[in-house]
Amino acid sequence: MAPTRRLTGFQATGHLHLGNLLGALRPLIAAQGAAQSIALIADLHAMTIEHNPADVRASALEQATVLLAAGVDPERTPIVLQSQVREHTELHYLLECVAGFGEAARMIQFKEKSAAGGQVRLSLLTYPVLMSADILLHDVTQVPVGEDQRQHLELTRTLAHRFNTRYGTTFTVPEGVQPESAARIMDLAEPTAKMSKSAGAGRIGLLDPPEVVRRTVARAVTDEFGVVRRDPQRQPGVTNLINLLAECTGREPADPGSYGALKREVTDAIEALLAPLRARHAELAEDPGYVRGVLAESAERVRPTAAATVRRARAAIGLLD
Ligand code: AQP
């Protein structure tokens, strides 16, 4: 049986947060022994919306540093910066030639982000095709996807099938897999929305100092019921806090009657998780040359597979070699 090969991506649009850690990074680290994984930092995706060049560069380097600090072992899991493996963009174009305008325009994320107004970049429309290229390039068999990315993975599978059918078998068609952690971490200030890089007050950044973590949890939205129980409809804030505690410690709350006690437990649990990560990050941040070296070596490691995929796709679609 072919080995399991996985790709987990992070958009370089800002600081990684607790949702990224629990929903994607920890499962990636836990699977390092069993699956061949690639961690992709998607900096090209960061340019699909208005961006500041210096911020994208800083975010890419910070994310690579955080991934290492959290325990990604670059010997087993290459940390690939999307823009440093040019084959991503070459394959993107070839896949655009089998994708329809309507298909791209139907994507929910495109509809939501373009509805926000302002000038809509063409790259926002074609971003799911770039994401398809990210996945197909590395010949992966599995992609852990949260609910928000399921539609994009379906498009990837559709484009791979279509290309293979029209031009001959070229791509491995990957399966979407439920991340090992079922956690969908919600924003602490707005617990019906997922915690995300762009949202504000209720996000816990992985490098937030202890005082900020404590304050963010202390201000987390709860409700007037005064009972610590899971009830996502009526008590989304409290449910999120219980889930956070369970994800961080594997424990349920000690006191079913006190939101204050629950928040203290959650704060301690997050702190126990983030303190070593922060410390390791501080060490690594002293040596950005090392982190850049990891990115360069990772790019070299994945390049043979990436180049072979593009070679197959070029030949199949009708280009001279
Ligand atoms: N809240 C979350 N709970 C669990 N898992 C999450 N992930 C993201 N948010 C949560 C998972 O982390 C990986 C990388 O996510 P991303 O970089 O694609 O998404 P993001 O952090 O939501 O940030 P965006 O998309 O850059 O910014 P926004 O949404 O603010 O525009 C993925 O595996 C994801 O499932």
Q: One digit per residue, pLDDT tens: the chain, 321 residues?
A: 667 899 999 999 999 999 999 999 999 999 998 889 999 999 999 999 999 999 999 999 999 999 999 999 999 999 999 999 999 999 999 999 999 999 999 999 899 888 887 889 999 999 999 999 999 999 999 999 877 788 999 999 999 999 999 999 999 999 999 876 667 899 999 999 999 998 778 999 999 999 999 999 999 999 999 999 999 999 999 999 999 999 999 999 988 889 999 999 999 999 999 999 999 999 999 999 999 999 999 999 999 999 999 999 999 999 998
CA distance 174 to 145: 11
CA distance 48 to 127: 7
Sequence-distant (6+) residues with CB within 8 A of 149 are none
Beta-strand relationship, 79-81 and 5-11: unpaired
Annotated active-site residue 263? The verdict is no
Q: How far is the CA of 108 from the centre of ligand 1 (A)?
A: 15
CA distance 234 to 213: 25
Write the DSSP symbol of residue 47: G
Strand partners, 85: none
Buried b (16+ CB within 10 A) or exposed e, 196-234: bbebeebbbbbbbeeeebbebbeebbbeeeeebeeeeee
Q: Mutation test of ligand 1: which of 151, 196, 239, 270 has the most ligand atoms closer than 8 Å to its C-beta?
A: 196
- Give the predicted TM-score (pTM) of the model: 0.95
Query: What is the distance of C-alpha 89 from the center of its chain?
Result: 19
CB 63 less than 6 A from any atom of ligand 1: no
CA distance 173 to 171: 6
CA distance 82 to 60: 10
CA distance 62 to 3: 31
* Atom nearest to 14 CA in ligand 1: 26
Sequence-distant (6+) residues with CB within 8 A of 100 are none
Structure tokens at 315: 């030949």
